[in-house]
Structure 1
Amino acid sequence: MEEEASSPGLGCSKPHLEKLTLGITRILESSPGVTEVTIIEKPPAERHMISSWEQKNNCVMPEDVKNFYLMTNGFHMTWSVKLDEHIIPLGSMAINSISKLTQLTQSSMYSLPNAPTLADLEDDTHEASDDQPEKPHFDSRSVIFELDSCNGSGKVCLVYKSGKPALAEDTEIWFLDRALYWHFLTDTFTAYYRLLITHLGLPQWQYAFTSYGISPQAKPKGSEGRSKRGCF
């Protein structure tokens, strides 16, 4: 069982947490209206946990992902705002622990028995272009692991682009929206982590990297074509 401790009001008392959050806690805590800035402390992963994950999944974990887990086995930071007399949860930044860094499969995507298979969606997959890399595939051509469930608004994924056995240099970070469309985020985990912190974990911030932007449900035009793909 992983030991976890909640640490509100970090201040400067825990420099290792300040390093982990790139100093964003100070900015949040000094911002008007922001309250309950909390990080759930997680112990570092042991090297054998990383080796076991690699052997189980037949994938070599990228060095920056390894270094992250050797610092903390997962990450979860939240903050709220005070509006009148009410405290409203707003920001949430999360990275799954190694035990929850699981491969996306048909069963993890759908709960309905008559849902289409992931292979049915391959017809809509576009190849690489000058401004966009080739999108991940739901079949054996790609190996996909969930980094963050985004509180149900999509999935941030570590994607191995060349199937198994999967090499560390073949990885990218992608966002899979609720309509099961892929959106490229970054080439490396480190770059994604900086994006996560920079956007403060605001709700649906990953949609800023889609063509339809944040809160697509607020934009009815063009949504009909996406709804046929289903959602998870």
Structure 2
Amino acid sequence: MAMSEEMMREWIQSQMGGGGGGAKIPIAPSEDMEWATVAGGFGMAYIAFGILAILVNIVIFACIIRRRRTTSSHVFYIIILNFTIIDTIKGVCSVLFALKLLTFNMATDASMWTVRVDQYSGVLLRFTNLTTILNVLLITMNEFIFICYPLRYSSIVTRCRVLWAIVLSWLLAIVLTVLNMLTSVRQRSVMIDTDCENESLINASFCIKHQETSLFHYFVFHMFLIAFCVICLAFTAGCYVYLYR
């Protein structure tokens, strides 16, 4: 069963003491403040590193674009340019991910907003992880062909083929990300109130139960996704082992 916005709002209110219909275990104010401090520290670190990644990749992107007359003719720089775009998106995702760590004791509406942002940033992060793996595979194949077939390199690796490979890698990552979302519709990660362990509250609106019927295709797809990533990384590692022998 999908978790609606109203149900999520009730869950947040129950966690903050504004609803939920069950007795909460009291938490000492000192422990509350300690958790808020730790979460805030991690949040600020994520934001700092995310902003740093964004700035560094923007500088690299600007340098490549500024010298595009020379860099556009080399496929290596085209692949690096793709890396900068992917890593910039990852930096943005890190900043968005950190927002939920800075919302301790925040109002319900603001908490709802950060939950939604966290969900969208998670989707983007899965997409960028896939594109990163595919781009690493692409740059590895470029180096492998350049070293093993230097005389045929210019005829095998062309600018047009590299651009098509990048476009196809992005399309493949989009397809896999969308499939991941579709398989997770009924088996998604949702917040479960600890009060749901109480049998008298098992049917409360904020107690969301996963549908076990979706476990099989969820498991199969993710095993396929893991195998795909492992094969790509193993092929990359195998190429470098062969080159360094």
Normalised by the length of structure 2, the TM-score is: 0.25
Higher relative contact order (CA 8 A, sep 6+): 2
Larger Rg: 2
**Which structure shows the higher strand fraction?**
1
**Which structure shows the higher helix fraction?**
2
Normalised by the length of structure 1, the TM-score is: 0.26
